[in-house]
Structure formats: structure tokens, C-alpha cells
Amino acid sequence: MNKKRFLTALLTAMMLSVSGVAGASFERGDDGQEVIDIQKRLAELNYTVSNIDGNFGPETEKAVKQFQLDRGLESDGVIGPATYKILMNREIPPNRGASIARRMIRVGYSVLGTPYVFGGTTPYGFDCSGFVQYCARNAGLTLPRMADEQYYFGRKISMKQLRAGDLIFFTTYEAGASHVGIYIGNGNFIHAGCSTGVTVSSAFTGYWGARYYGACRIL
């Protein structure tokens, strides 16, 4: 199999994987009007939500878990399609963030194999933050240029909360967030590595696992 056919096959397999990761859901750390609607409905059903503020925090998560337990659902605190339909009596709305995440990752795969170039921001060569900025821009998002700036741009999330499209950061040549990539699910991320160019790597094992720094959500 030649290199072009191999990359095409790899891209297809990866996108099939991503499509199952970035589905619509609401979970701890989310916010907005849709979360307010969920909180109101939980309160109407006598689950404890003292602050209907649109922030999916610990109290809302606890209420969701109890609702799921009472309805015989998996009590994970995440409002996926099944929980949403029973709670809200309608289908879960399309997840705009998931759509943008898929576009970002699709753009990243389209330049798989592009060489690393310090300061690079185009398909002729990328550095890590230039690659992430390029993917975001082509998905309709504006990000700062540098990795540490990108880290502080988004909302901080835990490793447990990671989903496709989140940005993940590593400590490499200097303290703090000095390397960045895009999480694609299943413990992997796509990034522009100094020695590899744009590639897919394991985020939590080996070289990168030892240097994991944190993550943020920009969607």
C-alpha cells in the first residue's frame, strides 16, 4: 500500500472513531440556556437544584444521577440522548460543539504528515500551536497564537471530562503549557510534533503521558 492510500485508510478509520466520541450530550462543566432548561425540569420533578444558573456543576450532576437511578438508567451524571428524552420529553438537540469538533479534527487529518516548522501556521509546515490555530480557524473559531495563550483561552476541564475537540497540553521545553494538540477520543490526540510533524499519538502513555499538563474546552 502506498503512502497516499495508507493515509486515506487511516483517515477513514479515525473519522469513524471520532464520530462516536463527539456526540450530543450535556455534562459537568457545560453551561448555557440548554442547561438552564435542564435544571428547571429537574427542579419541577423535585430534584434538588438550588441555583438555576445555567452552570452544570456538582449539584446538577448529583440531581441527574439520582434521576437516572430512579429511571433505571446508567447513573453517570451525563445527559445523553436516552436520559434527555426521558427527562425533557423530546429528542436531544443537535450539539453545535460536536459539529465544530468534527470539522476541526477533519481539518487536522487533512494535513496529516505535514512537517514540523517552528513558527509554522500553514500546510507547508506547522508548529504545535500553529496547527491547532489553523484547525480551529478552518472550523470557524478564533484562537490565540501561542500554546500557553490557548491554554488560558478555554475553560479548564479534568482528564475525566475530555471529549473530542478539547485542547490538551503538555510540558516540554519549558514549564507550563508548552505543547498543544487536539483530543480525538480513545486516549489519542492529533498534533504537530517536533520530530514527527502532524501525527496522532497516545496522550496518556509513553512520552506524552509523562508530560501531560492539562486540558481546556473551547467549544
The set of catalytic residues is 128, 179, 191
Q: Which residue has the cell 480551529?
A: 136
CA distances from 142 to 25, 74, 131 (A): 24, 37, 13
Question: Can you tell me the distance from the alpha carbon of 59 to that of 52, in angstroms, rounded to the nearest whole number?
Answer: 10
Q: Which amino acid is at 66?
A: Q
Question: Can you tell me the distance from the alpha carbon of 182 to that of 105, in angstroms, rounded to the nearest whole number?
Answer: 7
Q: Which amino acid is at 5?
A: R
Tell me if residue 25 falls in helix, strand or coil.
coil
Q: Give the contacts of 138 (CB within 8 A, at least 6 positions apart).
A: 103, 104, 107
Cell numbers for 62, please give them: 448529583
Question: Can you tell me the distance from the alpha carbon of 11 to that of 157, in angstroms, rounded to the nearest whole number?
Answer: 27
Q: Give the contacts of 5 (CB within 8 A, at least 6 positions apart).
A: none
